Amino acid sequence: MSTWQSITLTDDEWFDGYEVHRHPLESTVLPIMQAVYEQASPQGPVPSAIDSWWFSPTIMYQLNADGSAPTHVLIIINEGQGEPFAIPKTRFTINVNNRIVLDKTMGNRFSASEDVVPLVNKVKQWPGSFSSTGRLARYLTPVAVKHLLLHPFEPTEC
C-alpha cells in the first residue's frame, strides 16, 4: 500500500500583488466543513472561512499502486486552540470513502449530511485526477511541495 500524502489547503495560497490565489478545492471543502460543524453542534459557531490558524483542513490520501485512483481519502479539520498563538488540534476526521465523520472532541461518529455528498465525491476524485508522474505539483506552490515531501503522515482511519 502506498504512503499517505497530504494537501494542506492553506499552504497553497499565494499573493501575486493583485489578489490572493487559493487552492482550487477550498470552495469545495468549506461547505463540507460548515455542514459538519452544523451537524456536530447546531448552536455552536460555524466557520465562515478556511484559514491557517483557526480552521485549517488537510486532505490526506493514498493512491493505488499505479497512481491512477485514490484508495483512501480523509479530510482532517484542525482547529486552533489557545491564545496568543493557535496550536492546531484535530477536531474532525471525515472519511471521504464512507462519509463517516469522527468528532475527536466529543468522541462520536456520524454520517455526513446528504447535502454535501456531491462535494465529498469531488474531493474523493481530486487525488486520482493526477498521475504519479507529478501532475499534482503543477497545482501546488513550492511551499506546499516542500511540505508534502518533508511531512509524511499516517492518520488514524475513521
Q: Mind listing the pLDDT tens digit for each residue in 55-77?
A: 888 888 887 777 667 788 999 98
Domain presence at residue 148: no
Q: In percent, how much of the chain has pLDDT > 70?
A: 66
Cα separation values, 42 from 38, 99, 109, 112, 120, Å: 5, 19, 16, 14, 21
Show the domain range for 67.
5-143
pTM (whole model) above 0.85: no
Domain presence at residue 155: no
pLDDT in tens, 9-56: 776 555 555 666 677 888 899 999 999 999 998 888 888 888 777 788
Domain presence at residue 67: yes
Q: How many domains does the chain have?
A: 1
Domain presence at residue 150: no
Domain presence at residue 91: yes
